[in-house]
Amino acid sequence: MQPIWNKIIKIVPLWIAPNLLTFSGFVMILFNYFLISFYDWDYTASGSSPGLVPTWVWLFSAFTTFCAYALDSIDGKHARRTQSSTPLGELFDHGLDSWATSIFVLSFFSVCSRDNGKTGVSVYTMYIYLSIVLFNFMCSHWEKYNTGVLFLPWGYDISQVVLIAAYLLTSAVGVEVWQKPLLLGYYITDILVILLIGFSLFLSFPQTLYNIHRAHLKKTLKHDSLYEGLLPLVSPLLLFVLLTVWVVLSPSNILAKQPRLFLWMVGVAFSNVICKVIICQMSGTRPELFHWFLLPLALVVYAAISGLLGWMEEAVLAVFTALVTAAHVHYGVCVGRQLSEHLNIYIFSLKKRIQE
């Protein structure tokens, strides 16, 4: 894709801040997510009610996905082009990527639809699919925490191209294409899940371990002890365990009742946990053993699976999701302001701050 990005970057005005490109791409996929949610809140529009989502929405999804993909690919090039590369830009880029990763996946689920008894993907498969994608993202930044190098496999580019192609295919022939067997009785969604698991288990994760091992042999690891090296994994893994316990033991089957709300909360919570790891990796500091999200989440999960919440489980999920989202946005705004003041720069402008 580099030849395409090298041509696009030439038409970007030099006065535009790189962070503005990054943020614009994120806003586009966020708007697209809410647009799809409006037509398909419970992930059934493409299955039980084909045609409920207008064709133009799928075309718009392809357009916004490509724009976000392009802007995310050229923001670093534009920063070097304008000599405005900063730690704030790096954090801004990776921080928004940690959130956008889940949004891309949650938007795609509306294409293949949830299980309706005949076709579609079960909400539990959606949860596993999302968890695998987030796991891959976590591994890349865990690797950088240990080696100092962010190695991005081709999986990211492949996933973006597949997403764009899926939206275009859906707009051209309709959602029915996802409801028919493609090869040997397997549906397109089955093949995509198999490919995702295969890429993760046999390409992405082994590559991460290999890169860390190679850094160990070259004595270039950032952390000598095994404890320090594994520390960033504790909170994300505990987060996954707590969420999985809630999914499996929920008396009201919360994931089936509110899949979009629950999966959104998973993505936001993961993003905040990984942002802490990214900051620690950039600043050379030790990450906290237990992220503060884990305590309120553990209390909510206990109250839910023990039956204390009863019929209020869905309402508590909604409130908890809103609080987690607000806390994550607040955290991002505060960190952005602190870094911009410390570096004497503006977030969305190339002008320097006037020191008081």
Q: What is the spatial distance between Cα 59 and Cα 234, in angstroms, rounded to a whole number?
A: 40
The DSSP-derived string for 105-139 is HHHHHHHH-B--SSSSB-HHHHHHHHHHHHHHHHH
What is the pTM (predicted TM-score) of this model?
0.92
pLDDT in tens, 317-342: 999 999 999 999 999 999 999 999 88
Determine the Cα–Cα distance for residues 234 and 232; give it in Å rounded to an integer: 6
pLDDT of residue 303: 95
pLDDT at 347 over 90: no
Say if residue 127's pLDDT is above 90. Answer: yes
Place 257 in a pLDDT band, splitting at 50, 70 and 90. very high
Confidence of residue 200 (pLDDT cuts 50, 70, 90): confident
When computed from its CA atoms, the radius of gyration of the chain, rounded to whole angstroms, is 21
pLDDT in tens, 82-103: 888 888 888 999 999 999 999 9
pLDDT reported for residue 265 = 96
Per residue in 27-66, pLDDT tens? 999 999 999 999 989 888 776 555 688 889 999 999 999 9
| Res 350 pLDDT > 90 | no
Q: What is the pLDDT of residue 184?
A: 72
What is the predicted pLDDT for the residue at 48?
A: 55
For residues 309 and 247, is the Cβ–Cβ distance under 8 A?
Answer: no
Least confident of 67-81, 141-155, 182-196: 182-196
Flag whether pLDDT at 234 surpasses 80. Answer: yes
